[in-house]
Chains A and B, each alone.
Chain A
Amino acid sequence: MAVFRESVPRDLRGKLMELNWTLVLLLVLLGAAGVGMLYSVAGGSWTPWAVNHAIRFSAAFGGMMVIAMFPPRFWMGVAYPIYVVALVLLAGVEIAGVTINGSQRWLDIGPIRVQPSEVMKLALVFALARFYHDLPTEKVSSLGGLLVPAALIGLPALLIAKQPDLGTTLLLIATGGAIVFLAGLSWKIILPGAIAAVVGAVGFFRYGLHDYQRERIMTMFNPDADPLGAGYQILQSKIALGSGGFTGKGFMEGTQSQLEYLPEKQTDFIFTILGEEFGFVGGLVVLSIYALVLANTIAIAISCKSTFLRLLSMGVATTFALYVIINVGMVMGALPVVGVPLPLISYGGTVMMAVLAGFGLILGAHIHRNAEPPRGAGLFG
């Protein structure tokens, strides 16, 4: 059987020819949905959110295209430096961060206010992908092969947990864990590890959480018990969503969200407005777009020849999927309220940039799927 060595496009034209237009179209659809919903949430106004969202999306979209053009070799080169920078930024939050809503998550760099934890999500994927790319397969389940990823994940996780930002911490651990799993960790380690994780989580819930964090988790199970207290958001969100019915109340007709029953409606609870105004049909369409994005991404990952690109793509896809699942699960009262936005639809610049940068990498992976960058010296030679 003849083995074709498929080519990797080298010039810009060739790369654009190889661009995954389906994925691009799906992302634009999501961004447009975000603009529409933010317009509606503001009571039919472009300000304050919709216009910013559109501008940010356009800018980040451009950035995504640029990122897609860079060869994997480049990304491998900057993978560790990016991780280090992100780690420094996280530590910077600890020292000079801006406190909003009781947690220190933002860092002012010149005119821009960034959330280093969002940067870290991508940086961690980079670092892990690079690490496993360099690591010989047989060493994945070795002691060194375990400790380094554990450190790469654990360090930022601890810093983010201190902010405190439980949602992002768990997201980071889950993403890292997924990459480790995809890298081929032996089931003999996965199973006991999973058991240990469950035991640890229970202990953490008991002793490692702030009261408000524990309360958030508790209220998820019975939001009606305290309709005006901690369960208020979830209950109002469920009322808004549920009242949407099959086809919804119509664009800009979402009474609950328009009447300020919902807090943070432009960020974490944007899916609620979507569900209220466009009903079951609208919710299902948006969920389907997300599913299609993910299916596309996984297909790209599988088509990639190099471990780096595979893990990079899957890492980004995992983060993206977790965002969607946690956010939508939360607004429907199925998961605890942990400030996780709905990617590309929720208002928020850093997340938008991080998500589209991630898709830049995925689009790049698709273009360069046949590239096989040599294994680097690696940490273990």
Chain B
Amino acid sequence: MRADRQEQDLKFTRRALIMSGLGGLAFIGLGARLYSLQMLEGERYRLLSEDNQFNFDLLPPSRGRILDRFGVAVADNRDSYRVLLVPEQAGDVGAALDRLSRFMPMSDADRERVLRAVRRQSRYRPVTVADDLDWQTFSAINLNAPDLGGVRPDVGEVRSYPYGAAFAHVIGYVQTANEDDIAASPREEEGLLLHPGFRVGKTGVEVSRERDLRGAAGALKTEVNARGRVIRELPEQSTAPQPGRDVVLTLDADIQRYAHERLGQESASAVVIDVNTGELIALASTPSFDPNLFVGGISSSDYAALRANDHNPLFHKSIMGTYPPGSTFKAVVAAAALEHGLVDPNETIFCNGSTMLGRREFHCWRRRGHGRVNLHEAVKTSCDIFFYEMADRLGIDRLYDMAVRFGVGEQFDIGISGVRSGNMPNPAWLRARSNEPWTTGHTYNVGIGQGAVLMSPLQLAVMTARVASGRAVEPTLYRNALARPAPHIGVSEPALARVRAGLRGVVEEPGGTSYSLGGLGIEGVAMAGKTGTAQVYSITAEERASGVRDQDDLPWRLRDHGLFMCYAPADDPKYAVVVVVEHGGGSSAATRPARDILRRVVARDPSSRAGVFADLAGTDRRGGA
């Protein structure tokens, strides 16, 4: 019995220990599993837990402003009043929209868009119901927001162009990023580009200085629970957005606006340049368009109307339009002839209205001729016969060389895209183009700025500036504190002085082609200028016979372009103005607007007044933020 009992005790103990062993193994297994999860894979799970826990809400940066030379904002950001809806707080979204529609107009399409957005995303994420509301509507909603349920008034930023059409071509505009913009940007900015409300530059300065203007996105770190509800914001672990840098232009908003208005509804362009520094004071092109229309997405009918307009409002004529310079080019020919000593200032040439080259007759614009003219008279009266002779003496190579020195055919980099190089023909160019030999006839045509010579208003302005200052100025659109006066153009001062005297005579001396203008209109300040006409269509003998006497009788599209270059003060040049009026029917369409703009800029004298520079403006802005 006792042995039996002992054996039984032993058996129980043995089996209890077997069980303990199994339990012990299980516990060791648990410990090992715990070790593996927390010690070996702890880092991985820690990262997963942060993914779970935190959201980074993108904070778009404030876009840099675009300022004129005096710091006046020509592209700015204004507050955009928005209404957001948080579905989770609203409960029934449809009912919430009904309540909201008492305060603001809401179309069925708007409703549908909101409901679609609500279905697509977490109920804790706000949906934009309306953007860019007027202040009355917004304040009414703001006031009633507590009763509206889930409605959250919000203030964002939207690009605005206070000068509207006046700066449209230069500054360009911003729009929602498309796939190309996204592809062109660094990958880390993709989120920013896709952010609703974010815009990127599409044209003009907005696109060429995009990198400066854009800034960098910040991120607001928020802690969210399993259902996506924001528990708290963590500002100390968030990064503030880095606002974009301001860009300072050389343009003077006052002059720019004036030039824009002065050109009116003509298909025209105007360039105002500082002849000593090359700073562009104005760069206008008409008709224009309102860039504000593009920011929110232009309607297709508005866009179609802009496209259909035969005055080409979307085309930046001052840098993209190229025209034969016509008689304005005579300044270059005169400078070349004097520089090469091929003409004596007192030498006269007889103009009877035409000259024969072989069997071909070349006319002077003045059919009855100018009589005996020296260089000064020839410039003043724009005698074509005199300049045929000068061109012939120079030959195309020397003519070409001088034209290049004045910037003809050069593609200037002013920091926006679309700048055209125009054309300065020479024998090599002609051979390449049509395999024709160069003839004296070609040289004659170049001598009066016709034929294949093509220049943009910008190039005409540079040419004028170089004649006026004798310096090889480069046009520039951006203020630069380190700007140095341009080097001399390499044409002797006496030669240039004679050309300038001729140009002054055009306006200031009786008999000058623009004497009728009556000068600049500022007491004691003389101006110089040169008209030009770019022929678009030759009136045929038949038309002449059937009564088409002059340009006014032709359809608009066939009328000549009118050009005028001018600068002032004539004895100490500071500003040059070029105006080109497409199909203006002759130079007279351009002279008055150009003179008026020149008068305004001389009176205002923007170059002598303290302006701002990009660096200073940028620092100011960050300091204030």
Interface residues of A (CB under 8 A from B): 137, 178, 181-182, 184, 236, 238-246, 255-256, 259-261, 275, 279-280, 283-284, 287, 290-291, 294-295, 298, 301-302, 307, 310, 314, 318, 321, 325, 328-329, 332-334
Pick 27 A–B contacts, CB within 8 A, sort by A: A137-B8, A182-B12, A182-B19, A184-B8, A240-B45, A240-B49, A241-B38, A242-B37, A242-B46, A244-B42, A245-B39, A245-B43, A246-B39, A275-B37, A280-B34, A280-B35, A280-B38, A283-B34, A284-B31, A291-B24, A294-B20, A298-B16, A302-B16, A307-B12, A325-B30, A329-B33, A333-B37
Q: For the complex, what is the distance from the CA of A238 to the CA of B33, rounded to whole Å?
A: 11
- Counting contact residues on chain B (CB < 8 A from A), the size range is 35 or more
The smallest beta-carbon distance between B346 and chain A, in angstroms, is 96
Contact partners of A290 in chain B: CB under 8 A? 27
Interface residues of B (CB under 8 A from A): 4, 8, 11-13, 15-17, 19-20, 23-24, 26-27, 29-31, 33-35, 37-39, 41-46, 48-49, 52-53, 223-227, 231
B29 A334 Cβ-Cβ under 8 A: yes
Contact partners of A260 in chain B: CB under 8 A? 225-227
A259 B53 Cβ-Cβ under 8 A: yes
Residue of B nearest to A318 (CB): B19
Q: For the complex, what is the distance from the CA of A329 to the CA of B27, rounded to whole Å?
A: 9
B15 A255 Cβ-Cβ under 8 A: no
A243 B16 Cβ-Cβ under 8 A: no
Contact partners of B30 in chain A: CB under 8 A? 287, 325, 328-329, 332, 334
The smallest beta-carbon distance between A186 and chain B, in angstroms, is 11
The smallest beta-carbon distance between A143 and chain B, in angstroms, is 21
Known A-B contacts A284-B31, A294-B23; the reply to A243 vs B48 at CB < 8 A is yes
Picked from A184, A241, A318, the residue with its CB within 8 Å of the CB of B37 is A241
Picked from A245, A298, A332, the residue with its CB within 8 Å of the CB of B42 is A245
A314 B19 Cβ-Cβ under 8 A: yes
Contact partners of B8 in chain A: CB under 8 A? 137, 184
Q: For the complex, what is the distance from the CA of A184 to the CA of B18, rounded to whole Å?
A: 12
Picked from A236, A259, A283, A321, the residue with its CB within 8 Å of the CB of B224 is A259
Picked from A241, A283, A295, A302, the residue with its CB within 8 Å of the CB of B45 is A241
SS class, residues of chain B in contact with chain A: helix
B49 A280 Cβ-Cβ under 8 A: no
The smallest beta-carbon distance between A309 and chain B, in angstroms, is 11
Picked from B27, B38, B46, the residue with its CB within 8 Å of the CB of A325 is B27
Q: For the complex, what is the distance from the CA of A331 to the CA of B10, rounded to whole Å?
A: 37
Contact partners of B231 in chain A: CB under 8 A? 259
Contact partners of B53 in chain A: CB under 8 A? 255-256, 259
B38 A245 Cβ-Cβ under 8 A: yes
Contact partners of A301 in chain B: CB under 8 A? 16
Please indicate which of the listed interface residues B12, B30, B48, B226 has the most CB atoms of chain A within 10 Å of its own CB: B30
Q: For the complex, what is the distance from the CA of A7 to the CA of B70, rounded to whole Å?
A: 108
Contact partners of A275 in chain B: CB under 8 A? 34, 37-38
Contact partners of A334 in chain B: CB under 8 A? 29-30, 33
Q: For the complex, what is the distance from the CA of A378 to the CA of B451, rounded to whole Å?
A: 130
Q: For the complex, what is the distance from the CA of A246 to the CA of B33, rounded to whole Å?
A: 13
The smallest beta-carbon distance between A216 and chain B, in angstroms, is 18
B13 A246 Cβ-Cβ under 8 A: no
B45 A243 Cβ-Cβ under 8 A: yes
A287 B52 Cβ-Cβ under 8 A: no
Given A325-B27, A328-B30, 18 more contacts at CB 8 Å? A184-B8, A239-B49, A241-B34, A241-B37, A242-B45, A242-B48, A245-B38, A245-B39, A255-B223, A261-B52, A279-B38, A287-B34, A291-B24, A318-B19, A321-B26, A325-B26, A329-B33, A332-B37
A246 B226 Cβ-Cβ under 8 A: no
Picked from A182, A245, A259, A307, the residue with its CB within 8 Å of the CB of B15 is A182
Please indicate which of the listed interface residues A240, A242, A301, A302 has the most CB atoms of chain B within 10 Å of its own CB: A242
The smallest beta-carbon distance between B212 and chain A, in angstroms, is 40
Cβ-closest 10 pairs across A and B = A242-B45, A243-B49, A245-B42, A280-B38, A259-B225, A243-B46, A261-B226, A243-B45, A242-B37, A260-B226
SS class, residues of chain A in contact with chain B: helix
B48 A239 Cβ-Cβ under 8 A: yes
Residue of B nearest to A262 (CB): B226
Q: For the complex, what is the distance from the CA of A243 to the CA of B43, rounded to whole Å?
A: 7
B45 A239 Cβ-Cβ under 8 A: yes
Q: For the complex, what is the distance from the CA of A291 to the CA of B26, rounded to whole Å?
A: 10
Known A-B contacts A184-B15, A302-B12; the reply to A287 vs B38 at CB < 8 A is no
Contact partners of A181 in chain B: CB under 8 A? 15, 19
B38 A244 Cβ-Cβ under 8 A: yes
Contact partners of B27 in chain A: CB under 8 A? 287, 290-291, 325
Q: For the complex, what is the distance from the CA of A181 to the CA of B39, rounded to whole Å?
A: 37
Contact partners of B45 in chain A: CB under 8 A? 238-243
B226 A332 Cβ-Cβ under 8 A: no
Contact partners of B41 in chain A: CB under 8 A? 242
B33 A298 Cβ-Cβ under 8 A: no
A182 B37 Cβ-Cβ under 8 A: no
Contact partners of A259 in chain B: CB under 8 A? 52-53, 223-226, 231
Contact partners of B12 in chain A: CB under 8 A? 182, 184, 302, 307, 310
Residue of A nearest to B49 (CB): A243
Known A-B contacts A137-B8, A284-B34; the reply to A242 vs B224 at CB < 8 A is no
Please indicate which of the listed interface residues A236, A275, A321 has the most CB atoms of chain B within 10 Å of its own CB: A321
Please indicate which of the listed interface residues A245, A284, A307, A333 has the most CB atoms of chain B within 10 Å of its own CB: A245
Contact partners of B13 in chain A: CB under 8 A? 302
Q: For the complex, what is the distance from the CA of A202 to the CA of B42, rounded to whole Å?
A: 35
A238 B52 Cβ-Cβ under 8 A: no
Contact partners of B223 in chain A: CB under 8 A? 255, 259
The smallest beta-carbon distance between A6 and chain B, in angstroms, is 14
Q: For the complex, what is the distance from the CA of A107 to the CA of B384, rounded to whole Å?
A: 116
Q: For the complex, what is the distance from the CA of A105 to the CA of B4, rounded to whole Å?
A: 45
A321 B23 Cβ-Cβ under 8 A: yes
Contact partners of B37 in chain A: CB under 8 A? 238, 241-242, 275, 332-333
Picked from A182, A245, A291, A332, the residue with its CB within 8 Å of the CB of B46 is A245
Q: For the complex, what is the distance from the CA of A239 to the CA of B226, rounded to whole Å?
A: 13
A242 B19 Cβ-Cβ under 8 A: no
Q: For the complex, what is the distance from the CA of A137 to the CA of B6, rounded to whole Å?
A: 12
Residue of A nearest to B27 (CB): A291
Q: For the complex, what is the distance from the CA of A255 to the CA of B19, rounded to whole Å?
A: 38
Contact partners of B43 in chain A: CB under 8 A? 245
The smallest beta-carbon distance between A43 and chain B, in angstroms, is 11
The smallest beta-carbon distance between B269 and chain A, in angstroms, is 62
Q: For the complex, what is the distance from the CA of A20 to the CA of B263, rounded to whole Å?
A: 106
Q: For the complex, what is the distance from the CA of A328 to the CA of B29, rounded to whole Å?
A: 10
Residue of A nearest to B224 (CB): A259
Residue of B nearest to A248 (CB): B38
Q: For the complex, what is the distance from the CA of A239 to the CA of B20, rounded to whole Å?
A: 31
Contact partners of A332 in chain B: CB under 8 A? 30, 33-34, 37
Q: For the complex, what is the distance from the CA of A284 to the CA of B31, rounded to whole Å?
A: 7
Known A-B contacts A184-B15, A287-B34, A328-B30; the reply to A246 vs B42 at CB < 8 A is yes
Known A-B contacts A280-B38, A284-B34; the reply to A255 vs B49 at CB < 8 A is yes
Q: For the complex, what is the distance from the CA of A240 to the CA of B44, rounded to whole Å?
A: 11
Residue of A nearest to B2 (CB): A3
